[in-house]
Amino acid sequence: MCGNTNTQQIMSEKIQAAPTDGVKDTSFWQRIFSGKFRQSLANFFDEVGQLTMFTGKFFKELVTPPYEISEFLKQCYWIGNMSLPLVGITAFIMGLVFTMQSRPTLAKFGAESWLPAMVSVAMVREIAPVITGLIVAGKVGSGIGAELASMRVTEQIDALEVSGNRPLKYVVVTRVLACILMVPLLVLFADGIAMMGSYLGVNLTDKTTLRLFFSHVFSALDFIDIFPAFIKTFFFGLAIGIISCYKGYNANSGTEGVGRAANSAVVVASLMIFIIDMIAVQVSDLFMK
Amino acid sequence: MATQEQNITEGALTDEPRFEGDKTVNIQGLKKAFGMHEVLKGVDLQIGKAENLVVLGKSGTGKSVLIKCMVGLLQPDEGRVEVLGQEVPKLKEDDLNQVRQKIGFLFQSAALYDSMTVRENLEFALRQSKVKDKAEIDKLVEEALDNVGLKEAIDKMPSELSGGMRKRAGLARTIIMRPELILYDEPSTGLDPITSREISELILEIQKKYKTSSLIITHDIECAKITANRIIVLRDGVVTAEGTFEELENSEDEWVRSFFNK
Ligand SMILES: Nc1ncnc2c1ncn2[C@@H]1O[C@H](COP(=O)(O)OP(=O)(O)OP(=O)(O)O)[C@@H](O)[C@H]1O
Ligand SMILES: [Mg+2]
């Protein structure tokens, strides 16, 4: 207590001594919005502003010719090649496990025949897009972040620039576009594979034919399940591409800049996937009502 | 290097008209700071037509910063930077790219594109040229690599090259466009004395054949002696001495003389 009043005294002395005009009121909010917190808040908004400007530049470069078709195709191939096996395996396991886990609950209500329908809706609407997005953010996002960052620190981006090529067009636009195209394709692939996993899961206890299984699946899936889920995957691709390119493109010099760029590309892109997912469900609810 | 007398074919590779003024580069009062750290504190320099200017100076005095300001990679804080008749810091992106096509820039780190072979690196440099024919591109690429003695490494990836080989590949990529102005950042660093000499002679050859103006940053006195028409010395962010090789070699200033091992 004594110590407390002491500090209070010192504080009030300081406040009186401070040559401020107006009343100095150290309210809760003022204390919150000062010092470190304020700094990091400022950094956050600065980063958001920079990222928005970067996205603006991306769209500007996107629509002005010339178009770097061959580099774009190369990046598409690379993204597919990097993530296809991992996406396939994960989707298969998710389909299988999800089916096995849901079965007891449905069995309680005697609704095992609903299993394919329930699993397929969950997979297509939510699980396959998010899992694929996270895998691509991890593999491709870190890859792009590290690649662009090392191009930055070894002056390759400067070299592109002085040779009169537009690095933003050649390096960034091609990679972001490739992400936008490839993520939805990978999600479709994951949907298919997850269904195969689910089919196996159903078959572990009951006997179904593949045909019967898929007729259940397709009668359960509506346009409303597929379409919004498909649209949001384009935004997943955009987010992964833009964020990892931004992090790499603006990396600090030095080798530790490369690691940091790759790391924060993955973290921010993954977080962004969840945020987009949340927005997407709100937006599609809005239209469905 | 295939022959002592390098085979360099003539003719520009762009349709852009050549710069006809008599000062290829005109820099006045150039200042550049990074935060509190003032690197350039008012540099004045001119490069005449078809002149080789060598820039000497201790490590970290801002030589690389100087040439980066000349191509718009860095924005100067103050001063006038006129290159090939254009004021570089004030140019819009499209105009800047036009000027940049006439400038060759050899990075200190070579800055080869990691994802491409040496051949592709050189072909990439030719993308902006008027040469579109595959056979002709091949010929130009081989010729440029031959000039730096790197013909056998044509299909290697940059990661498979030694430091000196990377430097030479970077040099080949710089000269293949036959630019009107070449900015060499330590062209002979990391090379053995023989190759180093050959590179210096190549620089001289290019100057004679294409009437190229060059700025050569070097710590290699032999290279300076071979290539320089004129030398400037940077110290503490300003030009402290200027003259021909002989003049500076016998300078009053002991500090300047010490560059020449005297
Ligand atoms: N992008 C940058 N950000 C901050 N400081 C920089 C940057 N580039 C250069 N500097 C600083 O500017 C100074 C000059 O650097 P510069 O690379 O031009 O030196 P240099 O004369 O080329 O040296 P060397 O002969 O070793 O190549 C250095 O002190 C460096 O720390
Ligand atoms: Mg340097």
SS3 of B180, please?
A: coil
- Whether the CB of A165 is below 8 Å from some CB of chain B: the reply is yes
Mutate to test the interface with B, among A151, A157, A163, A174 (most CBs of B within 10 A): A163
Give the Å distance between the CA of A46 and the centre of ligand 1. Answer: 27
| ipTM (interface predicted TM) | 0.87
Q: Which of B40, B64, B71 to mutate to test the pocket of ligand 1 (most atoms within 8 A of CB)?
A: B64
Tell me if A158 and B111 make a contact (CB, 8 A cut-off): yes
Angle at B226 between CA B220 and CA B232, to 5 degrees: 65
Element housing B55 (H / E): strand B52-57
Q: What is the DSSP letter of B130?
A: S
Q: How far is A162 from chain B (nearest CA, A)?
A: 6
Task: Say what percent of chain B tops pLDDT 90.
Answer: 35
Element housing B245 (H / E): helix B245-249
Give the Å distance between the CA of B60 and the centre of ligand 2. Answer: 7
How far is the C-alpha of B211 from the C-alpha of B224, rounded, in Å? 18
Tell me if A162 and B128 make a contact (CB, 8 A cut-off): no
How far is the C-alpha of B126 from the C-alpha of A163, rounded, in Å? 9
The one-letter amino acid code at A227 reads: F
Backbone angle region of A240, left / alpha / beta, with phi > 0 → left and psi within -120 to 50 → alpha: alpha
How far is the C-alpha of A38 from the C-alpha of A118, rounded, in Å? 47
- Ligand 1 site, CB within 6 A: B 34, 39, 57, 59-65, 108
SS3 of B199, please?
A: helix
Q: How far is A156 from chain B (nearest CA, A)?
A: 5
Fold (topology level) of B20-102+179-262: Rossmann fold (3.40.50)
Q: What is the DSSP letter of B92?
A: -
SS3 of B215, please?
A: strand
Angle at A54 between CA A264 and CA A274, to 5 degrees: 45
3-state SS of chain A? CHHHHHHHHHHHHHHHHCCCCCCCCCCHHHHHCCHHHHHHHHHHHHHHHHHHHHHHHHHHHHHCCCCCHHHHHHHHHHHHHHHHHHHHHHHHHHHHHHHHHHHHHHHHCCCHHHHHHHHHHHHHHHHHHHHHHHHHHHHHHHHHHHHHHHHHHCCHHHHHHHCCCCHHHHHHHHHHHHHHHHHHHHHHHHHHHHHHHHHHHHHHHCCCCHHHHHHHHHHHCCHHHHHHHHHHHHHHHHHHHHHHHHHHHCCCCCHHHHHHHHHHHHHHHHHHHHHHHHHHHHHHHHHHC
CB atoms near residue A133 (< 10 Å): 29
Could you give the strand order of the β-sheet that contains B37-48, starting from the edge strand earlier in sequence? B37-48, B23-34, B78-83, B86-87
Q: Least CB-CB distance to A159: which of B93, B101, B107?
A: B107
Domain boundaries, chain B: 20-102+179-262, 110-178
Nearest by Cα to B79 from B30, B116, B35, B14: B30
Q: Nearest ligand to the C-alpha of residue B37?
A: 1
With cut-offs at 50, 70 and 90, classify the pLDDT of residue B63.
very high
Residue nearest to atom 14 of ligand 1 (CA): B62
Mutate to test the interface with B, among A75, A162, A253 (most CBs of B within 10 A): A162
- Whether the CB of B112 is below 8 Å from some CB of chain A: the reply is yes
- Phi, psi at residue A237, to the nearest 5°? -60, -45
Q: Are A95 and A122 in contact (CB under 8 A)?
A: no
How far is the C-alpha of A66 from the C-alpha of A62, rounded, in Å? 9
- Phi, psi at residue B243, to the nearest 5°? 165, -175
Task: Please tell me the predicted confidence (pLDDT) of residue B253.
Answer: 86
* Tokens read off for A165: 């090529």
Task: Please tell me the predicted confidence (pLDDT) of residue A15.
Answer: 44
**Closest-approach residue (CA) in chain B for A68:** B127
* Tokens read off for B18: 């050549």
What distance lies between CA A96 and its chain's CA centroid? 24
Q: Are strands B181-185 and B103-106 parallel, antiparallel or unpaired?
A: parallel
CB atoms near residue A190 (< 10 Å): 29
- Average per-residue pLDDT for chain B: 86
Least confident of A66-80, B123-137, B218-232: B123-137
Tell me if A155 and B71 make a contact (CB, 8 A cut-off): no
A52 CB contacts (<8 Å, ≥6 apart)? none
Q: Are strands B78-83 and B86-87 parallel, antiparallel or unpaired?
A: antiparallel
Say what the alpha-carbon torsion angle A125, A128, A129, A132 is, to the nearest 10 degrees. Answer: 180
- Average pLDDT over every residue of B18-30: 83
CB atoms near residue A130 (< 10 Å): 20
Task: Please tell me the predicted confidence (pLDDT) of residue B15.
Answer: 65
Q: Are B108 and B74 in contact (CB under 8 A)?
A: no
Give the Å distance between the CA of B60 and the centre of ligand 1. Answer: 5
Q: Nearest ligand to the C-alpha of residue B234?
A: 1
How far is the C-alpha of A230 from the C-alpha of A187, rounded, in Å? 8
* Tokens read off for A256: 């530790």
Q: How far is B59 from chain A (nearest CA, A)?
A: 18
Give the Å distance between the CA of B56 and the centre of ligand 2. Answer: 11
How far is the C-alpha of A39 from the C-alpha of A42, rounded, in Å? 5
Q: For residue range A259-288, list pLDDT tens digits in order.
A: 989 999 999 999 999 999 999 888 888 877
- Average pLDDT over every residue of B77-94: 89
Task: Please tell me the predicted confidence (pLDDT) of residue A11.
Answer: 46
Q: For residue range A99-139, list pLDDT tens digits in order.
A: 898 888 888 888 877 888 888 888 888 999 999 999 999 99
Q: Per-block average pLDDT, block size 10, for chain A (289 residues)? A: 46 46 62 75 87 89 85 93 93 92 86 83 90 94 93 91 87 94 94 91 82 82 82 94 93 83 92 93 80
